[in-house]
Structure 1
Amino acid sequence: MRKNVTVLLELVLDKLQAKLDKLGPSGLVKNRAYSKFLTVDKASARIDEAKVAEDAKFDGKYAIRTNSELSDDEVALAYKELWRVEEAFRNLKSGL
């Protein structure tokens, strides 16, 4: 098991390695979920352990960037309430 990597991420990396072995580098470069863990050279690709470790720092957390003057708690609450806006759009579009 890789150092400082969660079990779920370990499964993703194992799947990535299997796909990399099967498809080669060109088969995964356009896949954003996988490409963030890859370092691609001209004719090869490999899993970059530094990118994996950097991504693992944020496991179980989410980050919000804003230029609002709201407090941190107010921003987080507003973000969590976005589902209401999305639901309203879905309802609006369903009638069209």
Structure 2
Amino acid sequence: ILGARIKSESNEVKDKILNLDFGKEKKHLIEKDGLKLVVTHSEDRAKKDRYNREKGLARLEKLLKSGKLTKSSINNKGYNKFLKMEGEVTLAVDSEKVTLDQKWDGLKGYLTNSTMTVEEILQNYRHLWQIEKAFRVAKSELKIRPIFHFKRERIEAHICLNFTAYKVYKELDRQLKEKKSDFTPEKVIEIIQNIYEITVVTPKHEVLRKTMILTEEQKMIQDLFGF
């Protein structure tokens, strides 16, 4: 399930989208080249789209009055797409493009090859942030990359260990939420990396072990997990 670039679709598909009735039904399904294109409308998203466009246009108007915009400014970067040339050197805001852009306010598309229902597609897409977070944690906290192995079994072992570490990370996250702690998993990992255990062997050959808790944060982690 991918976010669809509905404004970049063919003219035929774009016409279908703009002719959809979102008065009562806020989500519609369009069959497209063997794929499902789900299009939804949200009033909150529409308000945000309008606000961002008005803010961008105000900035363009300000730059136009100051004379800071030139022919090189006509591109598809941000709200520069609303610019047009008048004559040879004069720039102005293209009101037709603005009007066309307004028709897309609040619309969002989802493209998939799955057999799920519209509701299932939308529900699963809402979990995307968890997948993105998993990749982010694997790359930053768990250092899945770079991989300095060449043999297949070593690469697979590296990824397996990383996956196992991520499972431990998620269990830590679950326990912190269960204990209603303000600590994040990243903060806990940072704190416990500086907790050490010392081992002392007495003259009578007794082995004594002591966990060194030196800071207030370390004490809080100790109280949370009871070690």
Query: Greater strand share, 1 or 2?
Result: 2
| 1: CA distance, partners of 2:114 / 2:97 | 30
Structure with larger RCO (C-alpha < 8 A, sep 6+): 1
Deviations 1:9-44 (A, max 9, x none): 333211111123332134633562112222357644
Query: Which of these two proteins has the greater Rg computed from alpha carbons?
Result: 2
User: Normalised by the size of structure 1, how large is the TM-score?
Assistant: 0.68
Report what 2:117 is aligned to: 71
Instruction: Indicate the residue corresponding to 2:136 in structure 1.
Output: 90
- Do 1:24 and 1:45's aligned partners in 2 also have CA atoms closer than 8 Å? yes
Give 1:20's aligned amino acid.
Answer: L
Distance 1:39 1:54 in 2: 14
Match of 1:12 among 56, 64, 68: 56
Aligned in 2, Cα 1:71/1:35: closer, same or farther, shift over 3 Å?
farther
Q: Which runs of 5+ in 1 are unaligned?
A: 1-5
Distance 1:67 1:28, change over 3 A: farther
Q: Percent identity?
A: 32
Give the letter aligned to residue 78 of structure 2. Answer: A
Match of 1:38 in 2: 83
Q: Is the 8 A contact 2:71 2:85 kept in 1?
A: no
What secondary structure is seen at the aligned counterpart in 2 of 1:63?
strand
Bigger helix fraction: 1
Output one character per residue of 1:19-71: Cα deviation in whole Å (capped at 9) or x when no partner.
23332134633562112222357644321112111211222332223444433
